């Protein structure tokens, strides 16, 4: 029953001074952060499209199936990653869930545990939600609210010719399991925004090349990726070896696989060089960030890859795109 579940959940929630009216009313009331702008984003994850639930996976065992707790964590993480891409401090989430009628209660409990593990880890308050059940697959949508100083949000349409392109960590092969353990770069983004100049930013949800092409197109510029500089995650090597029939190289996985949730930053050259020379732990204690310069913003629109011999070739903006007509 929805009312039992929601009542129990609300009793579990810690008090949060950011909430003037806590969850349990028709809506929560947040206290605004002084001198800042509210930032809001939403993501929708559907079983069978964005994840496979354990017990419902195909016979191949790949991609790996998720537990409901992992789905809850991931749903929060992807929305927080969008806040990170704006350099916003995450503050609150509201969660809407459509549960399959059969087995929904167990899923709801585990899903909530995953959501709360994430909100605890990122200092975010769970401000409300809605639970429905239906004869369909599990669907979860997380709306995240954050704040950023007025005029200081990172945008994707401000990259400038001559900027260097930084990626905050190795990419590729996340479907081997990292896509279920997303660590959004929220603290890193806020720390970088405080100490460095960033002209434009985007998070890698659908693939490095595709998301970079979104940033360059929005900024009315182009990008040249130095292919040997792209930090290829060991999972990209493993995935390429596991699926030789695809003919994809580890580098192609690094450029095209989505769900890495690292950030792409376009920064003035000196700032990018200073960022990669700064130990990440000086920015955020215990950070797993490993920023690397992977290319340059150029005036000519489009994306190019620069090979080791210096030759440049057009780079397909490949990645994951939800198809609809
Ligand atoms: Mg995004």
Q: Percent of the chain at pLDDT above 70?
A: 95
Going from the Cα of 182 to the center of ligand 1, the distance in angstroms, rounded, reads: 14
Q: What is the CATH number of the domain that holds 250?
A: 3.90.650.10
- Do 141 and 168 lie in one domain? The reply is no
Does some domain include residue 322? no
Task: State both tokens at 75.
Answer: 């749903």
Handedness of CA 223, 228, 234, 239 (dihedral sign): positive
Q: If you measure from the C-alpha of residue 202 to the centroid of ligand 1, how many angstroms do you get, rounded to a whole number?
A: 6
Classify burial at 55, counting beta carbons within 10 Å of its beta carbon; exposed 0-12, middle 13-18, buried 19 or more: exposed
Q: Give residue 124 CA to ligand 1 midpoint distance, Å.
A: 19
Cα(92) to centroid(ligand 1), Å: 17
What does the block give as tokens for 107?
């899923």
Ligand 1 center from residue 179 Cα (angstroms): 15
User: Residue 83 Cα, ligand 1 centroid: separation in angstroms?
Assistant: 8
Q: What's the CA gap between 212 and 227, in Å, rounded?
A: 14
pTM for the whole structure: 0.94
How many angstroms does the Cα of residue 2 sit away from the middle of ligand 1? Answer: 31
Residue 321 resides in a domain: no
Distance 34 CA to ligand 1 centre (A): 26
Q: Give me the numbers of helices (H) and strands (E) for the chain, helices first please.
A: 9, 13
CA of 81 to the centre of ligand 1 (A): 7
Same domain as 178, residue 53 = no
In a domain? residue 320: no
Distance 258 CA to ligand 1 centre (A): 11
CATH number of 52's domain? 3.30.1330.10
Ligand 1 center–CA 24 separation, angstroms: 30
Spacing, Cα 132 to ligand 1 middle (Å): 27
Domain boundaries, position 225: 164-314
Which band of pLDDT confidence, cut at 50, 70 and 90, is reported for residue 324? low
Does residue 271 share a domain with residue 189? Answer: yes
How much is the CA Rg of the chain, to the nearest whole Å? 20
Q: Band the pLDDT of 325: cuts 50, 70, 90.
A: low
Do residues 113 and 104 make contact, with C-beta atoms less than 8 angstroms apart? no
Q: Using alpha carbons, select from 226, 250, 245 the residue that is nearest to residue 172.
A: 250
Q: Which of residues 52 and 93 earns the better pLDDT score?
A: 93
Quick check: 296 and 223 in contact, CB under 8 A? yes
Can you tell me the mean pLDDT for 116-142? 95
Task: Please give all residues whose CB falls under 5 A of ion ligand 1, grouped by chain where several chains appear.
Answer: 82, 203
The string of pLDDT tens digits covering residues 197-218 is 999 999 999 999 999 999 999 9
Q: Do 244 and 188 share a structural domain?
A: yes
Residues 99 and 184 in one domain: no
Q: How far is the CA of 206 from the centre of ligand 1 (A)?
A: 9
> Measured in angstroms, how far is the CA atom of residue 85 from the centroid of ligand 1?
7
Among the candidates 118, 149, 180, a domain finishes at 149
Could you give the maximum distance between any two Cα atoms of the chain, in Å? 65
CA of 78 to the centre of ligand 1 (A): 8
Mean pLDDT of the region 168-180? 94
CB atoms < 10 A from the CB of 231, how many?
17
CA-closest candidate to residue 70, choices 145, 210, 181, 212: 181
3-class SS letters over 236-297: HHHHHHHCHHHCCCHHHHHHHCCCCCCEEEEECHHHHHHHHHCCHHHHCCCCCCCCEEEEEE
- Measured in Å, residue 6 CA sits from the centre of ligand 1 at 30
Point out the least confidently predicted range of 11-20, 91-100, 197-206, 297-306.
11-20
For 87-124, how does the pLDDT look when each residue is reduced to its tens digit (9 = 90+)? 999 999 999 999 999 888 899 999 999 999 999 999 99
Model confidence pLDDT, tens digit, residues 53-83: 887 666 566 778 999 999 999 999 999 999 9
Shared domain check, 208 and 286: yes
* pLDDT for residue 210: 96
CA of 46 to the centre of ligand 1 (A): 17
Which of 101, 126, 149 terminates a domain? The answer is 149
What is the number of structural domains in the chain? 2
- What residues contact 286, with CB distance under 8 A and at least 6 apart? none
- Asked if residues 264 and 212 have their Cβ atoms less than 8 Å apart, the reply is yes
Residues 170 and 285 in one domain: yes
């Amino acid at each position: 029953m929805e009312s039992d579940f929601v009542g129990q959940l609300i009793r579990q929630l810690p008090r949060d001074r950011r909430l003037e009216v806590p969850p349990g009313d028709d809506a929560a009331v947040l206290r605004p952060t002084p001198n800042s702008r509210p930032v809001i984003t939403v993501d929708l994850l559907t079983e069978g499209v964005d994840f496979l639930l354990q017990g419902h996976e195909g016979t191949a065992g790949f991609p790996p199936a998720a537990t409901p707790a992992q789905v809850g964590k991931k749903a929060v993480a992807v929305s927080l990653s969008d806040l990170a891409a704006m350099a916003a401090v995450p503050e609150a989430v509201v969660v809407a869930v459509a549960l399959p009628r059969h087995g929904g209660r167990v899923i709801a409990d585990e899903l909530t545990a995953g959501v709360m593990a994430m909100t605890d880890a990122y200092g975010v308050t769970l401000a409300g939600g809605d639970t429905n059940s239906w004869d369909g697959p599990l669907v979860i949508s997380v709306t995240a609210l954050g704040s950023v100083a007025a005029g200081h949000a990172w945008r994707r349409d401000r990259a400038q010719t001559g900027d260097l392109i930084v990626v905050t960590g190795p990419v590729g092969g996340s479907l081997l399991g990292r896509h279920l353990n997303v660590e959004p770069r929220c603290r890193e983004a806020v720390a970088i925004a405080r100490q460095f100049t960033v002209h434009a930013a985007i998070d890698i949800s659908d693939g490095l090349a595709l998301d970079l092409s979104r940033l360059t197109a929005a900024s009315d510029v182009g990008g040249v990726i130095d292919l040997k500089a792209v930090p290829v995650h060991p999972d990209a090597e493993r995935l390429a070896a596991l699926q030789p029939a695809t003919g994809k190289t580890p580098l192609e996985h690094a450029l095209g696989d989505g769900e890495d949730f690292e950030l792409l930053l376009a920064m003035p050259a000196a700032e990018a060089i200073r960022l990669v020379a700064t130990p990440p732990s000086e920015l955020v204690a215990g950070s797993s960030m490993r920023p690397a310069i992977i290319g340059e913003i150029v005036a000519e629109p489009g994306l190019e890859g620069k090979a080791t011999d210096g030759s440049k070739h057009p780079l397909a903006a490949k990645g994951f795109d939800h198809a609809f007509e």
